[in-house]
């Protein structure tokens, strides 16, 4: 019997080795396996805790490798202005993202987390990044998407909360500068930024599936904010959009269909309501329209504490909010801080069968689908290979080109026969005035380094309009800067002409809501003091049309520069004639706020400058 034991033991060991070999092969880890099969295999292996973890997105301030591992967290984000260190380098960003990723990869199943960031006009949280014009004036969109993707990936981040495809119907809304236009057809065209961010969909790719090019040069995009956020009453942020179902479909929905056709990976839900129903709890629209009718197969993400705001006041009944948000069809919840409460409440709701496992599996399936498609399982870790892309000269040149194309010339001379622009570069002495002439923070607007933006020239690296004027004119021309000169200074200065740069201070979201849309002082006083004395061109830096009619008669030339970003030379390129003005208004410019809301096609349409208006000039290369 003893002699027979050895071969039996050998066979047993061999069988165990074969069994272990089979166990080690996990279909979801094999990149050769089709995505749907990988998703199905991984989903079948996951516990409820692991699934809920995937549905949870937390802020970087509360994240750590241990938190990622212990709670199976699926995603981390940087809120507006949330950075690992002041003026953090790409290396600091990459190291932070990788530290979180190491925690995620150390879990039982090794599911990578996806890091997201607001990149609404470039990688706008990162110091030294190229800041492009805000959407209100944006041009050359696809190229900007590609450049933004590179600068976001350079920080180790594979997910951008962009583009905003809101159709802003009332400029009193504090987020109007995040919208491309009041006209949904323009917004639809601007979804071309999605292939720039994510890559071009290959031929024969499954219809309506999300697509993100594998590798490290593209990011997952996010169409936001679903749906109707640009149509709220009086433009009040997060308010109620009162419109018929047909009106919602005709005006606010079309760009979502375009986004899905471009393969957008994710969709973010709006804080706003539609006819009194909070979007974060609107199953009819999120599940019924977006997922079923439009056949969106990526994942739906909430906004920051979006489910909390289902109740009034926010967080009044958080368990109900979790139930309503997840049942509505939200797949990933931007918690972002108190993640244990969200996880505990959702787990309890599932265990009590209030929320079905079918709904949980749908959410996780969508999240995993995006992660597999973008190659995150094969390349979970970030590196510094793209570090030189941040603020690169080619991206700054692209931003400068975008600025030139976004400028709209609204007036050129008090008589059509005597245009002021382009300005002569060889004038003996010129005046530059205004609060926004030498303020890079004002030039960039909100969502720049800080959530609300900030004042000053040390915010990030860029070129102010004043500096651009000095570099554009002839060396013999004397440039005098006086932010708010009085009339006597102007009259006695011997100036050939003046460039006045005024506008709105930076703001974001609710802080930007305005019922009067006036340029704050000393802007109006500067216009009056300067334009009443010498020839002047007024450059308006704003996130939307503002009250300008009272000053228009005294102004010789008027330029809408919107929020041009870091490359101020794009403004002077056109002022001095190196390039011609070509921009057209994608928004109606009102005479009085009493007319609002007023959009092209309305019966009472009586604008100061109509939709599509814009004077043109020819390039002269300076003279």
Give the catalytic positions in this structure: 303, 509
Compute the Cα dihedral for 197, 198, 202, 207 and give only its sign: negative
Neighbours of 614 (CB within 10 A): 16
Lookup: tokens for 166: 């809101």
H/E element holding 118?
none
427 contacts 477 by C-beta, under 8 angstroms: yes
CA atoms of 272 and 183, how far apart (whole Å) = 20
CA atoms of 458 and 464, how far apart (whole Å) = 11
244 contacts 276 by C-beta, under 8 angstroms: no
- One DSSP character per residue, 361-402 reads HHHHHHHHHHHHHTTTTT--S--STTGGGTT-HHHHHHHHHH
| Coil, helix or strand at residue 543 | coil
Report which DSSP code applies to 322.
H
Q: Any long-range contacts for 87-93 (C-beta under 8 Å, 24+ apart)? A: 87/127, 87/128, 88/126, 88/127, 89/387, 90/126, 90/154, 90/155, 90/156, 90/384, 90/386, 90/387, 90/390, 91/384, 91/387, 93/126, 93/155, 93/156, 93/157
- Strand-pairing partners, residue 540, are 502, 560
| Placement of tokens 């949330």 in the chain | 82
CA atoms of 582 and 570, how far apart (whole Å) = 13
| Coil, helix or strand at residue 600 | coil
136: Cα separation from own chain's centroid: 12
CA atoms of 574 and 304, how far apart (whole Å) = 39
400 contacts 567 by C-beta, under 8 angstroms: yes
Report which DSSP code applies to 111.
P
Beta strands in 406-448 (DSSP E): 408-412, 429-433
């Amino acid at each position: 019997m003893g002699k027979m034991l050895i071969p039996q033991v050998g066979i047993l060991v061999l069988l165990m080795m074969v069994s272990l070999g089979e166990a080690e092969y996990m279909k979801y880890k094999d990149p050769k396996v089709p995505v749907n099969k990988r998703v199905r295999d991984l989903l079948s292996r996951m516990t409820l805790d692991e699934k809920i973890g995937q549905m949870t997105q937390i802020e970087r301030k509360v994240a750590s490798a241990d938190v990622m591992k212990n709670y199976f967290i699926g995603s981390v984000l940087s809120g507006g202005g949330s950075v690992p260190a002041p003026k953090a380098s790409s290396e600091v960003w990459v190291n932070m993202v990788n530290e979180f990723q190491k925690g995620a990869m150390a879990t039982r199943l090794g599911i990578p987390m996806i890091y997201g960031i607001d990149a609404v006009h470039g990688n706008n949280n990162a110091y030294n990044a190229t800041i492009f014009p805000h959407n209100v004036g944006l041009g050359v969109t696809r190229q900007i998407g590609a450049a933004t993707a590179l600068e976001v990936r350079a920080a180790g981040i594979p997910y951008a909360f962009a583009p905003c495809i809101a159709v802003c119907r009332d400029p009193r809304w504090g987020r109007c500068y995040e919208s491309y236009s009041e006209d949904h057809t323009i917004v639809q065209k601007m979804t071309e930024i999605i292939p720039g961010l994510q890559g071009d969909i290959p031929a024969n790719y499954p219809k309506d599936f999300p697509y993100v090019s594998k590798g490290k040069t593209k990011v997952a995009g996010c169409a936001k904010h679903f749906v109707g956020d640009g149509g709220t009453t009086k433009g009040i942020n997060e308010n109620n959009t009162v419109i018929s179902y047909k009106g919602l479909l005709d005006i606010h929905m079309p760009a979502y269909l375009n986004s899905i056709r471009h393969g957008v990976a994710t969709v973010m839900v709006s804080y706003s309501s539609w006819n009194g129903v909070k979007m974060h709890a609107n199953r009819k629209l999120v599940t019924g329209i977006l997922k079923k009718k439009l056949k969106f197969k990526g994942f739906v993400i909430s906004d920051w504490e979006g489910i909390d705001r289902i109740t009034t006041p926010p967080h009044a009944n958080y368990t109900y909010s979790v139930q309503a948000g997840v049942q509505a069809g939200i797949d990933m919840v931007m918690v972002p801080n108190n993640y244990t409460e969200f996880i505990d409440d959702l787990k309890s709701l599932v265990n009590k069968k209030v929320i079905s496992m079918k709904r949980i599996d749908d959410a996780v399936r969508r999240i995993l689908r995006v992660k597999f498609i973008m190659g995150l399982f094969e390349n979970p870790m970030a590196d510094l290979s793209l570090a030189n892309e941040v603020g690169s000269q080619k991206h700054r040149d692209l931003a400068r080109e975008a600025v030139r194309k976004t400028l709209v010339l609204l007036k050129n001379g008090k008589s059509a026969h005597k245009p002021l622009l382009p300005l002569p570069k060889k004038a003996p002495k010129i005046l530059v005035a205004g609060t926004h002439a030498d303020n890079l923070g004002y030039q960039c607007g909100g969502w720049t380094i800080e959530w609300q933006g900030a004042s000053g020239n040390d915010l990030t690296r860029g070129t102010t309009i004043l500096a651009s004027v000095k570099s554009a004119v002839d060396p013999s021309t004397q440039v005098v800067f006086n932010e708010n000169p009085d009339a006597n200074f102007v009259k006695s200065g011997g100036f050939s002409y003046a460039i006045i740069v005024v506008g709105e201070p930076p703001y974001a979201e609710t802080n930007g809501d305005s019922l009067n849309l006036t340029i704050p002082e000393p802007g109006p006083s500067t216009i009056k003091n300067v334009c009443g004395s010498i020839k002047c061109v007024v450059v308006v830096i704003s996130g939307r049309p503002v009250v300008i009619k009272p000053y228009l008669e005294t102004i010789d030339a008027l330029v809408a520069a919107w929020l041009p970003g870091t490359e101020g030379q794009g403004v002077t390129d056109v002022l001095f004639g190196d390039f011609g003005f070509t921009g057209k208004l994608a928004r109606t410019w009102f005479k009085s706020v009493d007319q609002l809301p007023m959009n092209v096609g309305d019966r009472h349409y009586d604008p100061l400058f109509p939709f599509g208006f814009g004077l043109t000039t020819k390039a002269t290369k300076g003279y």
